[in-house]
Amino acid sequence: MRGKLVAVIGDENTCTGFLLAGVGETNKGKSNFFVVDSETPKSAIEECFTKFMDDDNVAVVVINQDVAEEIRHLLDANDRQTPAVVEIPSKDKPYDPSSDSILQRAMKMFSADELR
């Protein structure tokens, strides 16, 4: 996975935090982050998610869970192992494990006894 990128779709605080951590990349007019606010159309989020998922240079897509809810149909339809999609909470909205489709898939793979 050497040389692969982490892509971020989220609110301004989340994207800024990842950029300050050094994961930001802008190359030939393309970047590996997308800031979403209340004015961002759902179609733009869908387009960005699809672009990151189709980019061979992206290994992980990190997305705020509240943003993921906007495009849940795309996340649920995704059956690829890479890039991995990781849902994280935003500053203003707590993480809800029952909404995380990746966590739900993982839980189906294990019995209740194995998770304890």
> pLDDT truncated to tens, each residue of the chain (116 aa)?
467 889 999 999 999 999 999 888 777 778 899 999 999 999 999 999 999 999 999 999 999 999 999 999 999 898 888 899 999 988 887 777 777 666 666 666 776 555 55
| Residue 65 contacts residue 14 (beta carbons within 8 Å) | no
Q: Domain map of the chain by residue range?
A: 5-109
C-alpha 2: how far from chain center: 20
| Residue 89 contacts residue 95 (beta carbons within 8 Å) | yes
What is the third-level CATH fold of 5-109?
Rossmann fold (3.40.50)
pTM of the model: 0.81
Find all residues with CB under 8 Å of 66, minimum gap 6, and list them.
90, 93
